[in-house]
Chain A
């Protein structure tokens, strides 16, 4: 990868942050398509056959276009690294991702704001997936104590295409997190969204996930898990709209509360086609007493037992 000379120090700092967090530094290798952003600068950009990333520095941020050609299947993920290494400020990142027909790609997106104290990050992503393609988008965040994040993702999943989106913010402070994801599904398109967030102290989290099942036989599965401790506030809104014939959607939200956390979940299901079928499942509560006691009977303290259970819920094993 070519790194702009005057920015090698920032690049190194990012790589170091990856190492500290146990993230995969091989993502910075030459064979991996990548864009590395720090603040409002593009500090690295790498294209591989079938992938064309173009970036442009805009006011307080970066806009990037990612084009995947038709019939591309990559052995490695496409690495989207967004860093901000100062403690204060504002950053805006816009991604336009276009995936051609019959391609199969993975994106690994890392947002690294390790020193943030008073920082606002705005992320906008528009993802268009061509017919028969499959996209996995894995979004992991490393946040310092004070990150205000607003994320908006729009996904269009074409005919016979599949989109799997994962968002995880569990090891760091969520502070102020507002996420919105809207997906439209074509015929036989499949959408899977999994969001895992942990909120502590006075964190405030709002997540909204919306699936429009427009195409016939389209399927969507939205799953969110939130852990809210202390005085954290979490609000999860899941909406599914069944418009296409035989469209099938399921939304699921599980929230674990501890302390004085304030948590709500609002599922909305709407059907405009009697052949469509939507379901939802929700739970809010403390950690199940029986689960705790039974682990304590093996010598774990209540906190150790809770940690084990929560790690399980967050899929961290």
Chain B
């Protein structure tokens, strides 16, 4: 179980997150839904360890892991696909997926995940993960990478943004696949339709949790309130 307990985050005197409490149980899937600037990516980066909360804790199976580095958390099974995946010069998709040969995966495994995310092996395995990949292609490579890693927790920051109309279907395939290998998905999105595909959801706005519960409930609430909302700043 992965938890955020009373997490606050401020930057340059500005409060970005306030008393965030979240729980991610093993084998379930979660959405974090909210408008631009709500604090979703900040939550993700705190879970991953890229950012340290100003106060509060990150707990993994009850143990305080707030002080652990990104690498240490990854070794304990937390991994993340960033909203803007980085580009790497001179590294092919194939090498990227195997982390330069560190992951021992055969060609078949690579082929399978690439095809799962809609990238034919022949066309993509030897492309570079650099500027030459389109935004959507880069996102798909990142999803393939997490599928191969099979982490215990996969944080996906807006995996659907930049994807074409096949996005919805792709997210379903990904969620299904992660469910099968026991990965807990934490999916960040501003699309209600995507949030509906997970079991549970948190609706975040202005750095606070506005609502949490079954995805359907949270999405209904989001639909009712968010469109008519006047408070962007908490």
Contact = CB atoms under 8 A, between A and B. Distances in A.
B134 interface: no
Interface residues of A, number: 24
Interface residues of B, number: 27
A308 B74 contact: no
A296 B84 CA distance: 15
B88 A291 contact: yes
A309 B88 contact: yes
Interface string B65-104: 0000111011100111010111111111001000110100
B173 interface: no
Contacts of B85: 294
Contacts of B70: 293, 296-297
A301 B81 CA distance: 17
Nearest to A305: B71
A305 to B, nearest CB: 8
Which of A298, A311, A312, A316 is the most central at the interface, judged by chain B CB atoms within 10 Å of its CB?
Answer: A298
B90 A317 contact: yes
B105 interface: no
A49 interface: no
B149 interface: yes
A295 B70 CA distance: 9
A260 to B, nearest CB: 24
A296 B71 contact: yes
Contact of B99 (A288, A290, A308, A316): A308
Contacts of B195: none
B99 A317 contact: no
B95 to A, nearest CB: 5
Contacts of B86: 288, 290-291, 294
Contacts of A312: 88-91, 95
Interface in A263-310: 288, 290-291, 293-302, 304, 307-309
Contacts of B80: 294, 297
A290 B51 CA distance: 12
Interface SS of chain A: helix, strand, loop or mixed? Answer: helix
Interface in B20-61: 48, 50
A1 interface: no
Contact of A317 (B48, B71, B82, B92): B92
Contact of B90 (A301, A304, A307, A311): A311
A313 B128 CA distance: 11
Contact of A297 (B74, B84, B88, B89): B74
A179 interface: no
A295 B145 CA distance: 11
Contacts of B69: 296
A315 interface: yes
A304 B89 contact: no
Contacts of B82: 290, 294
A237 interface: no
B71 A308 contact: no
A314 interface: yes
B55 to A, nearest CB: 22
Nearest to B149: A298
A307 to B, nearest CB: 8
Contacts of A297: 48, 50, 70, 73-74, 78-80
Contacts of A307: 100
B200 to A, nearest CB: 23
A259 to B, nearest CB: 20
B204 to A, nearest CB: 21
Which of A304, A308, A311 is the most central at the interface, judged by chain B CB atoms within 10 Å of its CB?
Answer: A308
A42 B41 CA distance: 65
A117 B48 CA distance: 47
Contacts of A304: 102
A299 B90 contact: no
A300 B99 contact: yes
A54 B88 CA distance: 45
Which of A291, A294, A313, A317 is the most central at the interface, judged by chain B CB atoms within 10 Å of its CB?
Answer: A294
Given A299-B71, A317-B92, 14 more contacts: A290-B84, A291-B88, A294-B86, A297-B48, A297-B73, A299-B74, A299-B99, A300-B99, A309-B91, A311-B90, A312-B88, A312-B89, A313-B90, A317-B100
27 contacts: A290-B84, A291-B86, A293-B70, A294-B80, A294-B85, A294-B86, A296-B69, A297-B48, A297-B70, A297-B73, A297-B79, A298-B149, A299-B71, A299-B99, A300-B71, A300-B74, A301-B71, A302-B71, A308-B91, A308-B99, A309-B88, A311-B100, A312-B91, A314-B90, A316-B90, A317-B90, A317-B100
**What 6 pairs between A and B have smallest CB-CB spacing?**
A312-B90, A312-B91, A299-B74, A296-B70, A291-B86, A308-B100
